[in-house]
Amino acid sequence: MIDRVPVAPARPGPLRLLAVYRSAGSLLRELSHALSQGQTLLKSDSGLPPGTRLVLVMAAEPLSAPIEVQGVVTACRPHGRKMAMTLRYDFDPEPHRSRLREAMAELRRETRRPRREPRVPLALRTDAAALLRGLSATVSDASRAGARLQLVGRSLPAVASGDRLVMTLAGSRPGSRRPARLVLEAMWAGEQHRYGRERRQEVGGRFVGVSAALKRRILAILSFDDARPALRLVRIQRTVLRPDSLKRGK
C-alpha cells in the first residue's frame, strides 16, 4: 500500500501521482509489489471515480529521472478520514532502462562482502497451497545466485538449513510460460514469529542445478522484463543425515 498525494496535471491527460522513496531498493520493491499483484491500494485525501487513468511517478534520489507506471482506478471507498483507491497498473520497462540500470548500480554499491551478487528487492507472490492449506509465500528479494522467501500461515512447514525448496517458475512472456523446476537450497531459516493468528518465517538460500534457460528467466525477473511470473512452491526435500553424523550429534 502506498500513501501519496495526487499532483494536478499541468496539461490535459492522465492524473500524475508523485511517490518519493528514500532508496532505490524501496522503489524497486514497491514497483515489484504493484506489478506482481497487478494492483495496489492508495490512500488520499480525496477519491477518484473508477475508470480514471493515472500515472504513478516513482522517484528516488539515486535516479536521474523518475520511473513512470500507467494505471487505472478500479475501485474507490472511504477509509477513515481518507479515501482508499484500488489501482491496476501496467508497466513497459523499455522507456525506463536507464533508470532501472541506475537502481541496479546503486544496489551493487550497497552490496557488502561476502555477498557478491546484489539482491534485488521484490514482492513476488508464490503459491504454496500444495504444502499446507492457507500457507502463502513471497519472494522478498533475489539475485542470480539465490533468493529469500517469507512464509506466512497459521501453521508453517518445518524448514532447516540444507533442505531444498522445490518450486516451479512460469514466465508471463511468450516462450517462457511453460513451468520449469526451480530449486532453492536453504542456507538459513529464521525463527518463526507470531503476528495475531499467523506465523511468519524467512528462509534464504541459493539456487541449485539452474539451466541456461532458467537463468534467462531469473534475469528477466531481476530486470523487470517479466514482472508477473507464476511461482509455485510444491514441496520441501528434507536433509537426510547419515547415521554416523547422528551419533556424533551433528
pLDDT in tens, the chain (250 residues): 444 544 444 456 788 888 899 888 899 988 888 787 777 787 888 888 999 998 989 999 889 999 998 889 999 999 888 999 888 888 888 888 899 889 888 888 877 766 777 889 998 999 999 999 999 999 999 999 999 999 999 999 999 999 999 999 998 888 888 999 999 999 999 999 999 999 999 999 999 999 999 999 999 999 888 888 999 999 999 886 544 444 444 4
Per-residue pLDDT at 216: 93
In the chain the domains, ranked by start, together with CATH numbers, are: 2-107 (2.40.10), 118-237 (2.40.10)
The predicted model scores a pTM of 0.77
Rounded-to-integer distance, Cα 11 and Cα 1, Å: 28
Q: Which pLDDT value is given to residue 240?
A: 65
**pLDDT at position 241:** 55
For 132-143, b/e burial (b = at least 16 CB within 10 A) is eeebbbbbbbbb
Model pLDDT, residue 75: 93
